[in-house]
Amino acid sequence: MSQQKRREISFSSLDEVISDIEALAGSDHETTGTHSFGKIVQHLATTNEMLVGNIIPPKLPWYMRLAMPFLKNGILNNPVEPGFNLPNKAMQEFFWSQSDVDLKEAIENFRTSVKTYKDKGPLPVHPVFGKATEAQIDKMLLSHAAMHLSFVHPK
């Protein structure tokens, strides 16, 4: 599979993300990145759960804790680009399942995480990027989802 093939997508709400995921899941689809569709959706659910404080990520290395708040503006003003490598095995295992993920289960987890996010709202301090407004966190979430889901295509 070519990692170059990506859909051009953007989202203006988490409901749009759910609709896109459900549309893709309801048809023949393929992924062109390194993760399965189920892993991608579960990764997005994990991110949402982290943002409301339901799960706590491993601590970032000191150099990343210093750099990430400065990178936040670039992420807010540009699309999230693929290729970011997590700094260690603990972070990799926290954000990405090491085994296959059932797509239906991942979708349900994502739906639940979106409801929780809408009900509780994000933490006032983003666990990776530091202090951020709810609008900034929403924008980062939607851009993050678009980047990952751009690797999932209808056949």
Angle 103-120/14-25 helices, nearest 10 degrees? 170
Q: Is 91 part of a structural domain of the chain?
A: yes
Overall number of domains in the chain: 1
Domain that residue 81 falls in: 33-154
The CA distance from 67 to 62, in Å, is: 9
pLDDT digits (tens, 9 = 90+) for 66-77: 888 777 877 787
Q: Is 15 part of a structural domain of the chain?
A: no
Q: Mean pLDDT score of the chain, rounded to an integer?
A: 88
pLDDT digits (tens, 9 = 90+) for 34-64: 899 999 999 999 999 999 999 988 888 888 8
R_g of the chain, CA atoms, integer Å: 15
Looking at residue 3, its pLDDT comes to 46
